[in-house]
A and B are shown apart, each in its own frame.
Chain A
Amino acid sequence: MKLAEAVAALSLEVEDPQILDREVEGGYCSDLLSDVMAKAAGGSIWVTNQVHANVVAVASLIDAAAVIIAGGMQPEEETVKKAQDVGIPLLSTSLSAFDVVGRLYELGLRGTLRDG
C-alpha cells in the first residue's frame, strides 16, 4: 500500500507532503525504542506515542516507511527538523495508538517482524 493511501484513510496530519509515495510493507507499534530497533522490519509504518528526536534516528536505522505519532501528541521541533533532514515521513493524529493500528489493519496492513 502507498503511504498516501493510509494518510488519506486515517486523515493523518503530515509534516512534509513531499514524501508520501513510499510503499508500506506492514506495521509495528511500540514505544520501546530497542524493541522497534530489534524487531520491526524495513518498510514498516511505526506507530508510537514518543515525540522526541531519537524516534527519527530509529526510524531511519530500521528504514521505516513512516512514523505515526498517535494520541494527539505533537512531535518536538527538533524531531520535525530531523525527519525532514533524513527523509522520514512524520505523521500525527489524535487517534489513539490502538485505533491507528486497528484502522491500518482494516486497510490490509499486517504486523511485521524482522527475521532472526
Chain B
Amino acid sequence: MPDVKDVGALMSVTYDVAARDFVRAGEAASKLKRLLQQLGLDPAVIRRAAIAAYEAEMNIVIHSYGGQIKVDITPESIEMICEDSGPGIPDIEKALQEGYSTATEEIREMGFGAGMGLPNIQRSADQFRIESTVGEGTCLQVTILHEAGE
C-alpha cells in the first residue's frame, strides 16, 4: 500500500515499482489516476499525469533494478520524482529521441520499447528534468501544473 500523508494542502504519496514484474506493471499509475480522480482534478490534467506516471513506471520495470515514484500534489501542481537504482542512461540526449530504445526484442514484442516513453513524459510535463548516473540509476522530475494547457 502506498504511504499517504496529507499535510495541509500538500498530499504526498509514494509507490514502489518492482523490476521485471509485467503483471503488476501499471498499478502505480492506475492508483495515482484513481487518487487524482477522487481529488476531483481536471480530466486533461489527470490524463497527462497518467501518461507520465505510466511511462516512468514502465521504464523502471523494464530498465532498472527497481524504484519508486513519489508524488506531491499541491494546489498548483502534481510533482513526480521517479527514482530507480539501475544501470543508468549513458546518453540522455539519445534516450530522449523519439524512437530510440535499448529494450530487448522480447520486450518490444510485448508492445513496449517503442522509444516513446521519455518523449511522452516530456510532452505531458510542464517541467521535466532527468538525471542519470551510469551504474547507479536514474531520477526523473516531472511537474504538471493544474492550470496549464496541453
Contacts and interface: CB of A to CB of B under 8 A. Distances in A.
A115 B54 contact: no
A35 B27 CA distance: 19
Contacts of A78: 23
Contacts, number: 74
A57 B27 contact: yes
B33 interface: yes
Interface residues of A: mostly helix, strand, loop or mixed?
Answer: helix
A113 to B, nearest CB: 12
Interface of A: 31-35, 37-38, 42, 48, 50, 52-58, 60-62, 78, 86, 114-116
A59 B129 CA distance: 28
Contacts of B23: 53, 78
Interface of B: 22-23, 25-27, 29-30, 33, 43-44, 47, 50-51, 54-55, 58, 110-112, 114, 116-117, 120, 123, 149-150
Contact of A34 (B30, B55, B150): B55
Given A50-B110, A52-B110, A54-B25, A38 B120 contact: yes
Contacts of A53: 22-23
A50 B30 contact: no
A57 B110 contact: no
Nearest to B57: A57
